[in-house]
Structure 1
């Protein structure tokens, strides 16, 4: 079940956010558990990584503000599940290096927060999609969000998963590229397709993934791969 945390020290703002969230969930007919927190420290004390979560976070709070929370979430690569809410543009600018999901202005919250939640739910739905692999006669289903990258070597494709499992399949990279189009993957090289969610930085000839794994980027795919990487970091 989706778990949604709302973190803001202003009671009126929390009530408004909760009402907006409940309206979106009702429209989507989606069950979820909602929790409210008054400041960043209170939120972090109880925080555990959940497979299915959304955090709606105010930037300007006492004790520990939203930037402090982002710094902690960045360490465990969970900023993609955050929607930031702020009344101050200067604070929002300071968060860009942490790559939050989206920033919403409080004065436009009624209009923009439902859109931000809708985008999150669309990405969530996409990540919950699965690929089907046939391995030694057995059909195996793997969630897209669990796939880190594909590696072609000779006549086989190695599918590297987040838990460090590697599946070996006899498939065509062109078929994977078509099937994964628009789903958060980019082909960086004739022999590699990577999941943008696991990309940490872009270097001249490589993309660096979690765990400092380097995947090559070919010259002809460099510009496109870099553009997709930058777009993914702004989400």
Structure 2
């Protein structure tokens, strides 16, 4: 949601031939704040959307998901309130790209966007990870999916899907198995990939456990991703 809003902000800004700094000056914001809005890294409130609408000469509904082009007619108050109610009931959780060794997992450079979630959920207990590759395809987790991860440092049961840092390398998503002798085996849900065998848990850092998957709808012809 926030990524789509950000893309529309950027498009409208460029149509006005404004730099990020120029738009920020109109709104009393820094260029960095505008950059974060455009990349979907920061949740934008309805008040700032209304100010953007005025500064960029676009109807406020133009910036909300599901509205492709600004409409000439003014939306009804009930329609706008409905969109605002839905918008205000959402917050965002961090979407992480590849997490490399030597970086804190939740450092800013690892965050590639935000995933909207209802405010009722304890969002601080979750993060999302963008899937790279097809090693978990057998579990219904495909490349490009966003996997919802519950932050915790332990495994609840044998056979659980975990997000883990292995041997100080990049984060991986695998099925956790622990043998009676203490050896750990991380198994892909795709037979094309070999198991990862660990003789000691000291080489493994559990960053969270699988809590769900978000799949993007198929792109429409001519749609830019």
Q: Which has the higher helix share?
A: 1
Which structure has more relative contact order (CA 8 Å, sep 6+)? It is 2
Q: Which has the higher strand share?
A: 1
Q: Normalising to structure 1: TM-score of the pair? A: 0.28
Q: Normalising to structure 2: TM-score of the pair? A: 0.29
Rg bigger for which structure? 2
